[in-house]
Amino acid sequence: MENGKRRLIGMTPAALKEMVLALGMPAFTAKQVAQWLYVKHVQSIEEMTNISKLNRQRLSEACEVGALPPLDCQRSKDGTIKYLFPVENGKFVETVFIPDDDRATLCVSCQVGCKMNCLFCQTGKQGWEGDLTTADILNQIYALPEAERLTNIVFMGQGEPMNNLDHVLQATEVLTADWGYAWSPKRITVSSVGVPNKLKRFLDESQCHVAISMHSAIHEQRLRLMPAERAQTIEQTVQLLKQYDFTHQRRCSFEYICFGGLNDQPLHAREIVRLVEGLECRVNLIRFHEIPGVDLPSSDEQRMEAMRDYLTKHGVFTTIRASRGQDIFAACGLLSTAKRQQQS
């Protein structure tokens, strides 16, 4: 932080213990701080009333809770809300709250911009401007006005989670640990284009759901859409996934943006069936949302339904994802803070 104080949000009990001992406080204070943070979600150290006044003062001199409220919000006609959060490097990220009957999902960001430069993604056009800290990631949840309503979190906002894996894993640890938010990992989905070594490490170290950005099952075509195909092909990614068990609660899904006449034909559906054969998974078909300077057509409803029906008939559970927040540029692939960065 600019004031030199450490942010408490994101710290584990072990890190908190090391810190309180260094400040001359008893070790059990760490457990108290963790409870105030992750169970009671306090906004200030002064609210931690079972810690002595002297120790609260010591804490306040060195630390702060570190909850940074959103600077702006935009509300869609469908109820979706897009928030703009400040992050530690002086930049900003966008976060999307998506209410849906008894469910409420938060789409969080893990980087400012993204290195992947997928042809169809507005975030990729921004380029990469830095990784978020664990505190920056968790702050999108901690400081969210609707935080108490959340049922699910998806790491599908700005950035490639595997390229900021340490902080993503630390954030999901806080969210799922008994001492933290105590969420089931089944309430959290982490997306990826498929990054060598990093995706395997995530699968080994986390029990959260995984969602792979596929968008084509054909190597040459996916390479044109997604430069990351060069580093790890979709074939290699699926072969890796087949080494893990998704037959119980943990889920594997594929995100597939449909481009009219480009990747939504019978050939493409057959290739998906071939690719995922033997893997317990689901496919989410997503309508393409146009972005400036990119000449890609959007698939129509009839073509997407035909693709869904073919995949379902051939044993691949498939849904067409409803577009949310398109009118406020909150839908899939539309998040960007490039303009805000230039103004600041």
User: What span, in angstroms and rounded, lies between the C-alpha atoms of 198 and 182?
Assistant: 25
End-to-end Cα separation, the chain, in angstroms = 18
* CB distance 92 to 341 below 8 Å: yes
* CB distance 202 to 186 below 8 Å: no
- CA dist list (Å): 174 to 33, 131, 178, 278: 13, 18, 9, 33
Q: Which residues partner with 107 through β-bridges?
A: 96, 154
The one-letter amino acid code at 94 reads: E
Q: What does R_g of the chain's alpha carbons equal in angstroms?
A: 21
User: What span, in angstroms and rounded, lies between the C-alpha atoms of 91 and 340?
Assistant: 8
Q: At what angle do helices 198-205 and 234-241 cross, to 10 degrees?
A: 20
Which one from 63, 64, 94, 258 is the annotated catalytic residue?
A: 94
173 is catalytic: no
Which one from 110, 121, 258, 332 is the annotated catalytic residue?
A: 332
160 is catalytic: no
Q: If you count them, how many residues does the chain have? A: 344
* CB distance 153 to 97 below 8 Å: no
Q: Is 107 exposed, middle or buried (0-12, 13-18, 19+ CB in 10 A)?
A: buried
Residues with catalytic roles: 94, 332
